[in-house]
Chains A and B, each alone.
Chain A
Amino acid sequence: DTGVSQNPRHKITKRGQNVTFRCDPISEHNRLYWYRQTLGQGPEFLTYFQNEAQLEKSRLLSDRFSAERPKGSFSTLEIQRTEQGDSAMYLCASSHPTGAAFFGQGTRLTVV
C-alpha cells in the first residue's frame, strides 16, 4: 500500500484547454474525495464518491468540472475550457467509512 497517488504532480495549460487529473486511492478505500486549495486558504470540497457513486457535489463545481470513478477504484477530475481562476492545487483523499482520510500529494494546476 503506497498511499493515495495523484497524477500529474504539476500541470501548466493555456486558458481554454481541457485538463484531466487522476487519483488512485488506497486500495479497498471505498470513499474518495476531491478538494481544491488556493494560496493561503484551506481546502474547499469539490465532490465525494462512495464506490462508483458520486454522492455529493459542491455548488462551487461549475458545469466545466466533471468527476468520475467508473469502477469504484481510481477517479478522474476533468476541467473543460480552463480559466485563470481554476489555477489551484487539486487534492484527492480516500478513506474507509469510519476511518481516517489520507490525502495524495496533489496536482498543482497553473492556467496561463
Chain B
Amino acid sequence: GIQVEQSPPDLILQEGANSTLRCNFSDSVNNLQWFHQNPWGQLINLFYIPSGTKQNGRLSATTVATERYSLLYISSSQTTDSGVYFCALNTGNQFYFGTGTSLTVIP
C-alpha cells in the first residue's frame, strides 16, 4: 500500500517562530493536499499542491513530486495555528493520510 510519513510527529513553538513540516510519500501523486484539523475535528483545506510552490499569507507549501516529498512552512506562528496538520495523497479512488504533525504554539 501507499505509505505517507509525516515529521515531526509533535512540535512545540513559541509564538512568532517559524516551522517546517515534512510529508514523505511512497508513490507517484495525482493530488496532494495539506489540511489543518481544528479543535472541533474539522479538516480545513490549506493547499492543493500536487507539484510546485504555493503561498497563502503566512503559510506556504512546496511539493517535489519527483523526489516524493512535500513541505509546509508556517511563518510567524500564532496560537491559532495550533492543531494537527495532515498531508493526504489521492492516487485515484481514495486519499491516503499521513499520521499528522501535532503543533502547539505557546504565547
What is A's interface to B at a CB cutoff of 8 Å?
33, 35, 37, 41-45, 48, 55-56, 58, 89, 91, 93, 98-106, 108
**Cβ of B97 and Cβ of A42 under 8 Å apart?**
yes
CB of A48 within 8 A of CB of B93, answer yes
Beyond A100-B33, A100-B48, is A55–B41 a contact (Cβ under 8 Å)?
Answer: no
A and B contact pairs by CB, cutoff 8 A, 30 listed: A35-B95, A37-B41, A42-B86, A42-B97, A42-B98, A42-B99, A42-B100, A43-B88, A43-B95, A43-B97, A55-B93, A56-B94, A89-B41, A91-B41, A99-B48, A100-B33, A100-B45, A100-B48, A101-B33, A101-B45, A101-B88, A101-B95, A102-B45, A103-B42, A103-B43, A104-B42, A105-B40, A105-B41, A105-B42, A106-B41
Residues in chain A near residue B44, CB distance under 8 A = 103
Chain A residues whose CB sits within 8 angstroms of the CB of B94 once the complex forms: 33, 45, 48, 56, 58
Residue in B closest to A49 when the chains form the complex, CB atoms: B93
Residue ranges of B at the interface with A (Cβ–Cβ < 8 Å): 31, 33, 35, 40-45, 48, 86, 88, 90, 93-100
Q: How far is the CA of A93 from the CA of B99 in the complex (A)?
A: 18
Are B35 and A103 neighbours in the complex by a CB distance under 8 Å? yes
Most buried by A among B44, B45, B90, B94: B94
Residue contact A33 to B41, C-beta cutoff 8 Å? no
Bound-state CA distance A106–B43 (Å) is 9
